[in-house]
Amino acid sequence: MNKIKIALLGLGNVGKGVWEIFKNNTDEIIRRSASELEISKILVKDVNKDRGIDVPKEILTENIDDILNDDSIQIIVELMGGVDPASDYVVRAIKNKKHVVTANKQMIATQGKELLDLAKKEGVLLYYEGSVAGGIPILKGIEESLTANKIEEIVGIINGTTNYILTKMSLENMDFETALKEAQEKGYAEADPTSDIESYDAVYKLAILTSLSFGINVNVNDIYREGISKITSHDIQNAKEFGYTIKLLAIAKEKNDSLELRVHPTMIPLTHPLSNVNDSFNAILIKGNAVGDLMFYGRGAGSLPTGSAVAGDIISIVRNDMTLRSIALADNPDLQKRVLSREEFTSRYYLRLKVKDVSGVLGQISNILGKNDVSISSFIQKGQKDENNLVSIVFITHDTLEGNIMKSIEELKTLDVVDKIKNLIRVEKFI
């Protein structure tokens, strides 16, 4: 039988998952790949560290050259994360005619196009299913199955950490800080949670999804980004009263050859399937002009689920006789789509304000909204006035341009009766 040697770069959470899968599912892997696959070398920082896993010490190395210069190794699996030195190692691997599998979202989102071009030039493959939504086979789904569709829209819950926190806040009435602390204790959030909480992680993933779905190369800086730290229990409670729940959504919509790209906390109807995606689960809704609405749901992170995607990519490379093309990001250089600026977004909006409890307040606010073409769909006044004679009021608008909302907010701030704009949250209605 065909024998293929593989090297891992990194033996952290996902690396251990890949090792376990190769050990436990040997029969399946042989059956599916018609080959014997052997992890013959693993790059680690410290060969003497105890990792609580039965990897033979003799296959560990601290020297990348041991791997890159080993001609018997045909596939490199990059699982270090970050772009430095990962992307340097990947470039060198490709130039040494090795196929590459990676789960590195930051590297693919920021340098994927160049790496794929290089791989093509060198005649090797670069696969990266594990970089988006862990074990959910969303990239191959788009690139191998939905090929006859014009993709119109992608809406996803693609960050498990924030979804865990928002679930705890919604279902167990935790406040943000407590939920974050619990997520950290359970290993869902890192000591420095910025990348998840402030949505950088989701932005990388959305950039990859967008490039694959719409065929253009997306600069991650062109994606509008908001984190979840501003969401309070008040907002969660208000959302429930309006029939919504709050999720961190990554959204890409094509509108007349322009793209609306945004990641932010969003109110979605409790009746929508995405509203039941809880804890650290991920889900991605894709609308294609032929297939209609399609949803993929599963574990978006974790040792074995992400390992499943990585191992699946390895098997794809092996059984396609290593001759097939990579999954192409932005495969048409002629295709140009403009990324809309924030002012051009269209959405419904939830607006929470603290105002003085005097007569005429609503009239003044409605005037400003009306002047800016913002029309109100629902309104509630929340609770009693506080010690400063202030009350909370909450609006949900009809569809409107975000530019109009931004102008309204600037004008509302100048009103004497408005104490503070407490929050602005987009509302997705899913037509």
Query: What residue numbers does the annotated binding site for L-homoserine cover?
Result: 190
Alpha helices in 259-323 (DSSP H): 303-319
Binding a copy of itself by CB under 8 A: which of 311, 327, 361, 412? 311
Contact (Cβ atoms closer than 8 angstroms) between residue 252 and residue 206: yes
Token pair for residue 81?
A: 């994360």
Q: Does 258 bind a copy of itself (CB under 8 A)?
A: no
Count CB atoms within 10 A of the CB of residue 264.
21
Residues in the annotated binding site for NADPH? 105
Q: Are 231 and 169 in contact (CB under 8 A)?
A: yes
Q: Distance between CA 288 and CA 225 in Å, rounded?
A: 25
Question: Which member of 56, 84, 147, 256 binds a copy of itself (CB under 8 A)?
Answer: 147
Residues 61-120, interacting with a copy of itself (CB under 8 A): none
Residue 391 to residue 260: CA distance in whole angstroms: 35
Binding residue (CB under 8 A) for a copy of itself from 119, 228, 304, 365: 304
Instruction: Output helix, strand, coil percentages for the chain, rounded to the nearest 5.
Output: 40, 30, 35
Amino acid at 229: S
Residues 346 to 375 in contact with a copy of itself, rule: CB under 8 A: none
Out of 331, 357, 411, 419, the only residue in the binding site for a copy of itself (CB under 8 A) is 331
Nearest-CA neighbor of 421 among 392, 382, 398? 392
CB of 26 to a copy of itself, least distance (A): 10
364, two tokens: 């003044």
Q: What angle do CA 187, 192, 197 make, to 5 degrees?
A: 85
Measured CA to CA in angstroms, residue 47 lies from 15, 42, 64 at distances of 14, 10, 13
Q: Could you say which of 50, 52, 148, 414 contacts a copy of itself (CB under 8 A)?
A: 148
Q: Taking contact as CB under 8 A, which single stretch among the options 98-106, 167-175, 319-327, 338-346 is the one that binds a copy of itself?
A: 319-327
Shortest Cβ distance from residue 283 to a copy of itself (Å)? 8
Stretch binding a copy of itself (CB under 8 A), from 63-71, 167-175, 325-333, 366-374: 325-333
286 Cβ neighbours under 8 A, 6+ residues apart? 141, 142, 146, 151, 153, 154, 213, 293, 294, 295, 296
- Which residue in 4, 7, 14, 21 binds a copy of itself (CB under 8 A)? 21
Q: Is 19:55 a contact under the CB 8 Å cutoff?
A: yes
Nearer to a copy of itself, 30 or 401 (CB): 30
Applying the rule CB under 8 A, the residues between 25 and 64 that interact with a copy of itself are 25, 27-29, 31-33
**98 catalytically annotated:** no
Can residue 149 be called a binding residue for a copy of itself (CB under 8 A)? yes
Q: Distances in Å between the alpha carbon of 185 and those of 161, 179, 291, 304?
A: 12, 10, 41, 20
Q: Output the six-digit token pair for 191.
A: 């000591």
Given 332, 341, 367, 389, the residue binding a copy of itself (CB under 8 A) = 332
Q: How many residues belong to the site for a copy of itself (CB under 8 A)?
A: 60
Segment near a copy of itself (CB under 8 A); pick from 219-227, 324-332, 346-354, 421-429: 324-332
Minimum distance of a copy of itself from residue 285's CB (angstroms) = 9
Token representation of residue 69: 């210069």
Residue 141 lies near a copy of itself (rule: CB under 8 A): yes
Catalytic residue among 205, 247, 253, 287: 205
When the beta carbons of 291 and 358 are compared against a copy of itself, the nearer one is 291
DSSP lists the bridge partners of residue 75 as: 6, 99
Q: Fill in the amino acid letter for 265.
A: P
Q: Which residues are tagged catalytic?
A: 205
Interface positions with a copy of itself (CB under 8 A): 17, 20-22, 24-25, 27-29, 31-33, 129, 135-137, 140-141, 144-150, 215, 273, 276-277, 288-299, 302, 304-305, 307-309, 311-312, 314-316, 319-320, 323-325, 331-332, 335
